[in-house]
């Protein structure tokens, strides 16, 4: 393996991807596996999980999985305990991907809606970070990636509770990046635009909504999971928020003083940024509008 190949290899690294059987989570599992990582994923549906695991095994990917509803505190704890046994108490990458939405006017949301959406989109990710911290620290080079949304940055008519939860996720990423830098743990938040996943079907299946989405997207179409998965799998400078519009890329630095990492590592993160930029620019230029 050449030095260039080693630079972007994840051979020998371990990862947990929540909700890895559909949409962006599925694409991230395949992206990480393609780089050589050993992955564990979870899903609520055992049939979907087993089907994905079978397909990944045929492709030679090192992926295991377990049935888990991350909204449940006890199931989250059980998942991390199992992960600790699988990976000998160490975890390099935590991808907090699970999310859901209910679309209503603000005045129509109930207390139950609020609890469900916050538990799924924010509380589960927060608690997963707490549980995984010892494993990430033990690895000596931990990475946390949150799957957020542009809705957590700008106003979109996708529901105020969902947007509030995603805004909180973005801030959580910046705080953890600063607080846990001393433990060699990085934290980033990837905030996609509308992506063709089951979660977005409600909007993309409506011609009026789709027209508005296209009009606000420079590329003129929703994004694909594979266009987000690369950002979710590459290590970029800590404490950041990555907005992912097709044909739009913007880096927003966190509140940490530059950089909350050993100076010897700075050049590597700079190169990672350049690599991401080139990758996105090249992919964009290959697409016919």
**Which residue numbers are catalytic?**
162
Helix (H, G, I), strand (E, B) or coil at 145: strand
d(CA 129, CA 185): 11
Tell which residue, 57, 45, 2, has the closest CA to residue 21.
45
Helix (H, G, I), strand (E, B) or coil at 245: strand
- Backbone φ/ψ region at 60: left (φ over 0), alpha (ψ -120 to 50), beta: left
237, 241, 246, 248 alpha-carbon torsion, rounded to 10° = -80
d(CA 134, CA 40): 17
The DSSP 8-state label assigned to residue 73 in this structure reads H
d(CA 64, CA 40): 5
With tokens 């929703």, the residue in question is: 222
- E-strand spans in 105-234? 142-147, 185-192
The DSSP 8-state label assigned to residue 121 in this structure reads I
Contact status, residue 193 vs residue 221, Cβ threshold 8 Å: no
Helix (H, G, I), strand (E, B) or coil at 59: coil
Beta-carbon-side half-sphere exposure of residue 9 (alpha carbons within 13 Å): 10
């Amino acid at each position: 393996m050449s030095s260039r190949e080693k630079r972007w290899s994840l051979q020998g690294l371990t990862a947990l991807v929540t909700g890895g059987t559909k949409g962006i989570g599925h694409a991230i599992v395949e992206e990480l596996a393609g780089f050589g990582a050993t992955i564990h994923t979870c899903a609520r549906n055992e049939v979907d999980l087993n089907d994905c695991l079978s397909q990944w095994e045929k492709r030679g990917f090192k992926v295991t999985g377990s049935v888990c509803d991350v909204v449940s505190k006890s199931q989250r704890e059980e998942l991390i305990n199992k992960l600790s046994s699988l990976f000998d108490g160490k975890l390099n990458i935590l991808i907090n991907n699970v999310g859901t939405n209910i679309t209503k006017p603000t005045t129509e949301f109930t207390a139950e809606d609020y609890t469900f959406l916050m538990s799924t989109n924010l509380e589960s990710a927060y608690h997963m970070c707490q549980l995984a911290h010892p494993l990430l620290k033990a690895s000596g080079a931990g990475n946390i990636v949150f799957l957020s949304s542009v809705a957590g940055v700008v106003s979109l008519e996708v529901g105020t509770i969902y947007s509030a939860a995603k805004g909180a996720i973005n801030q959580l990423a910046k705080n953890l990046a600063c607080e846990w830098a001393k433990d060699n743990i990085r934290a980033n938040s990837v905030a996609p635009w509308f992506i063709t996943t089951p979660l977005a079907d409600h909007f993309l299946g409506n011609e009026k909504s789709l027209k508005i989405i296209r009009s606000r997207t420079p590329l003129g179409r929703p994004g694909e999971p594979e266009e987000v998965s690369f950002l979710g799998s590459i290590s970029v400078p800590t404490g950041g928020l990555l907005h992912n519009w097709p044909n739009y890329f913007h880096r927003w630095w966190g509140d940490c003083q530059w950089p909350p990492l050993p100076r010897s590592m700075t050049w590597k993160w700079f190169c990672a940024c350049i690599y991401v930029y080139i990758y996105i620019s090249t992919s964009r230029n290959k697409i016919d509008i």
